[in-house]
Amino acid sequence: MSTTTTYKSWVLNEYVKGELNKDNFRLVEQPLPKDIPTNHVLIRTLYVGFEPAMRPSISLGKSYREPHPLNTPMWAFGIGVVAESKSSRYKRGQKVVGMLDWSEYTVLPEKEVWPYDADVGLQHLSALSAPGVAAHVGLVAVANVKKGDVVLVSAAAGATGSVAIQVAKAVGASRVIGIASKSKCQSVLDNGADACVDYTSPNFESDLRKATNRKVNVYFDNVGGKILDAALPCMAMFGRVALCGMIAEYNKIGADAAEKFGIKNLIVAVSQSLTLRGYVVIKGLTPDDDLRRANRELTQWIKEGKIKASIYDFPQPGIEHCPDALKGLLVGQNTGKMTLRIAKDAREVLAASSSKL
Ligand SMILES: NC(=O)c1ccc[n+]([C@@H]2O[C@H](COP(=O)([O-])OP(=O)(O)OC[C@H]3O[C@@H](n4cnc5c(N)ncnc54)[C@H](OP(=O)(O)O)[C@@H]3O)[C@@H](O)[C@H]2O)c1
């Protein structure tokens, strides 16, 4: 039994309008549960991952996620170690993954926990979590990417974009072009893109037209706003646009309509016979077969070394920094998946063949 008697979690204090700040959340301390229910495990959190989708879920504006309930721990997918078990599937000391929240400890039913695979490692939070699955489903199931296609990816240095580039290559795209800010373009090229266009340049639109030669068969859009608007005129006839996310617009949820970006080039969808399709990788909204295929192929490609999403380890570890990590993600501090070490010994525990508590 652990000697710890209390643990800390961040709960949502209030719904957010515009940019978030630390007061939107509240750090609470509570006693560790003494009795956990049958078929449940108590998990000590090692790492959690941060998602842009956390931002819409803490506002009351319309989005694809229900507003997160006030005064409850913020959600996050994470890696942990079983501290107490009343489950026949998981034993004390076993490393696991699941929805561990912004919390040092979480009790979960065994059916909501999965074993941690050391060959996958931190990619559990990235290539094998929402970003990687969204990259695979968007390209393969939504945009039906084919061998020889020209593929364009925005937010290409991020967790989702970096996997999208590698998935496009894995399925045989002839040319893959990323869009990112200048300082992140090298990482886009390192991930296998043939070219990277800096969207912060004053010549962004003409640079994009040159890099794509207006022959994009598949555009994987993570950003929306002016980037989507600039990409539309670069599409080839019968092009497909997978609308994965609109990170440029998330801080405007709940803001006045005048602050939101109005797409001007949508008429190209008519002249080029384009298909634009949005999707969300949540069970029930994406067919199970597509989710299963994504998990199967991504696991295989990770183990074969074909896919490796970049991981950004937030510089200050500890539960205290959860709001800072989310804030950092929303201003692009991270190159790759934003992760936070909740337990200061997380690296050692993951490296050890048998876990210590
Ligand atoms: N549909 C789904 O089921 C699903 C699942 C997961 C993720 N997503 C979506 O995928 C997108 C990316 O998520 P992620 O987890 O990859 O995030 P991430 O790792 O934080 O990467 C986001 C990237 O976006 C870029 N960015 C931020 N603001 C921008 C702006 N205004 N214009 C252009 N680029 C901007 C940043 O890089 P720069 O420094 O280059 O700006 C950053 O690297 C989000 O829209 C998210 O909602 C969707």
Query: Residues of the chain with pLDDT > 90: what percent?
Result: 82
Query: Is 329 near ligand 1, meaning CB less than 6 Å away?
Result: yes
Residue 120 reports pLDDT greater than 60: yes
pLDDT band with cut points at 50, 70 and 90 for residue 2: low
Reading the block at residue 51, the tokens are 């998602």
Query: Is 52 near ligand 1, meaning CB less than 6 Å away?
Result: yes
pLDDT digits (tens, 9 = 90+) for 204-218: 999 999 999 999 999
Amino acid 256: pLDDT: 75
**3-state SS, residue 43:** strand
* CATH code assigned to 130-303: 3.40.50.720
Q: 123 with 309: CB under 8 angstroms? A: yes
Residue 309 reports pLDDT greater than 60: yes
Amino acid type, 183: S
Residue with CA at minimum distance from ligand 1 atom 7: 131
May I ask the CATH architecture of the domain 6-126+310-351?
Alpha-Beta Complex (3.90)
Q: Pick from 94, 106, 100, 109: which is nearest to 77 by CA?
A: 100
Q: How far is the CA of 164 from the centre of ligand 1 (A)?
A: 12
More confident position, 284 or 185: 185
pLDDT band with cut points at 50, 70 and 90 for residue 346: very high
pLDDT digits (tens, 9 = 90+) for 313-344: 999 999 999 999 999 999 889 988 999 999 99
- Distance (Å) of CA 212 to CA 11, 103, 202, 228: 45, 44, 17, 14
Show the CA angle centred on residue 191, arms to residues 147 and 297, nearest 5°: 55
Q: Domain ranges in the chain?
A: 6-126+310-351, 130-303
Q: How far is the CA of 184 from the centre of ligand 1 (A)?
A: 13
More confident position, 154 or 330: 154
Q: 303 with 118: CB under 8 angstroms? A: no
- Mean pLDDT is lowest, of 11-20, 37-46, 155-164, 196-205, for 11-20
Query: Is 159 near ligand 1, meaning CB less than 6 Å away?
Result: yes
pLDDT digits (tens, 9 = 90+) for 54-104: 998 998 876 667 889 999 999 999 999 999 999 999 999 999 999 999 999
Q: Provide the whole-model pTM.
A: 0.89
